[in-house]
Amino acid sequence: MWPYPKVLAHRGGGTLAPENTLAGFRTGLQFGYRAAEFDVMLTRDEMPILMHDPQRGRTLPGVGQIAETDWAQLCELDAGAWHGPSFAGERICTLEQGLDFCIGNGIWMNVEIKPGASAQAVRTGELTALAVGRRFTAALEALRDDPASPQAAVLPVLSSFSFDALMAAKEAAPDLPRGFLVDTIPDDWQARLQQLQAVALHTSHKNLTPQLARQVKDAGYGLFCYTVNDAARAVEIMGWGVDAFCTDRIDLIRADAY
């Protein structure tokens, strides 16, 4: 149900580096992390980039919505100075650059589709899935020939809180695995997963209970939690049957802890 890594660096390098940047991935590698979660958003001119916040101000200087700004303007901004002087000058990266770096360094990926505007949900899901699918053509072909192929464990999982974005990803690249993201597990979670043909449910560990975890696992789905920063809590939820989680504290929780 979950052939993927158990512990992921949240947004690339957790709290130790600017999120959703190549510097974040490099920092994760320094701590032994070869699995990462990151966010994908579209610019106004439909460039898929690694970005969490829909607006500038926290990780990028200035003001304005990402969905209303072109890539040519965003790529000139400093995406590292907010975190600390040692990261000053770090730039945001495109999804293509992020995929290339992760593939080149053997980093498994949970790609969260994060539309910056509701009107972009379908297009964000579509373009993200197409970009990921292009990079994993060989693995997808091997899986079509042999559903039990070990290449299944190589494929990134596409996840999203946006049902529409994830459905669009399913239409664009149906063979890529999908995980539906929810803050609190809704009553219709299983119907939603079936519609998406998802492999996993992704949810906040704060709202999870042993009973809910067992329901998900008994239904045959993977169960992923965000964002677990306490080692004792990680042990607890893994004991409930949780398959994997992401963490900001890559300095406190070892990548190979499970």
Residue of 179, 178, 243, 187 lying closest to 213 (CA atoms): 243
Alpha-carbon separation of residue 190 from 180, 219, 220 (angstroms): 10, 8, 10
Q: Which two tokens stand for residue 241?
A: 């049957």
3-state secondary structure of 64: coil
6 class by beta-carbon count within 10 Å (0-12 exposed, 13-18 middle, 19+ buried): middle
- CA separation for the pair 95, 51 (Å, rounded): 9
Q: Which two tokens stand for residue 16?
A: 């130790």
Active site residue 202: no
Residue of 45, 23, 27, 22 lying closest to 9 (CA atoms): 27
Active site residue 52: yes
Question: Which residues are catalytically annotated?
Answer: 10, 52
